[in-house]
Amino acid sequence: MIKQIIKLALATLLFYAVGRLAYQQFYQFTISAIESFSAVPLKFFGKFPRLYFGDPVFGLIIASIPVAVFLTNLIAKERNKFLIKTSLIYALSFTITYFFICWEKSQAFKAWSLTYKEGQELSYNLQFVHLNQLFLLVAVIATALTVGVLLLRLKTEES
């Protein structure tokens, strides 16, 4: 158990560092995904937040990922050999949820425009995309989906 805690602490610190250092890249990718999913021409203006070493809150949200996987694994009463399965299920849930939320945001930007005319390009300030909220929502939903899948699997194995 001590080895698991040490590995968890190291993974958490690594994810925190990645979240802090790659904040702008995550922001740019999210904006790009929202623009790509939009059914209407959508552009964002403004400068990306230039924070020295990124946003600490975003770092904490990203750092919660290994903790969520570890706790999900414990809740589902899995053993170390199943941690890889739990991680893969979480990664899949996280990715699907992330792209779904980006798609939903792209639809919301069109809905917010009360004066939209067909073919018109919509422009929004980058500050309308709240990266911390988006990733926190994705992490919570992905954790819930992972717990649900693992508990459903355990229930079917018991029967």
**pTM for this entry:** 0.84
Residue-wise pLDDT tens digits, 135-145: 999 999 999 99
Q: Which residues contact 37 (CB under 8 A, 6 or more apart)?
A: 99, 102, 103, 106, 107
Between 114 and 8, the more confident residue is: 8
**Residue 114 is which amino acid?**
L
Q: Which residues contact 40 (CB under 8 A, 6 or more apart)?
A: 110, 116, 119, 120, 121, 122
| pLDDT exceeds cutoff 60 at 80 | no
Q: How far apart are CA 107 and CA 116, in angstroms?
A: 13
Tally of CB atoms within 10 A around 59: 20
Phi, psi of 26 (to 5 degrees): -60, -40
| pLDDT exceeds cutoff 70 at 123 | yes
Please give the pLDDT value at position 18.
Answer: 92
Between 73 and 31, the more confident residue is: 31
Please give the pLDDT value at position 5.
Answer: 86
Q: How far apart are CA 113 and CA 126, in angstroms?
A: 16
Between 96 and 51, the more confident residue is: 96
Give the domain range for residue 8: 2-158
Our measurement of the distance from residue 21's CA atom to the centroid of its chain's CA atoms, rounded to an integer in Å, reads: 16
Between 157 and 131, the more confident residue is: 131
CB burial class (10 A; 0-12, 13-18, 19+) of residue 50?
exposed
Say if residues 90 and 146 touch (Cβ distance below 8 Å): yes
Please give the pLDDT value at position 30.
Answer: 93
Whole-angstrom CA distances from 35 to 42, 102, 122, 130 are 6, 9, 10, 15
Q: How far apart are CA 74 and CA 23, in angstroms?
A: 30
Please give the pLDDT value at position 96.
Answer: 96
Domains in the chain: how many in total?
Answer: 1
Q: What is the DSSP string of 41-62?
A: -EEEESPPP--TT--HHHHHHH
| pLDDT exceeds cutoff 90 at 16 | yes
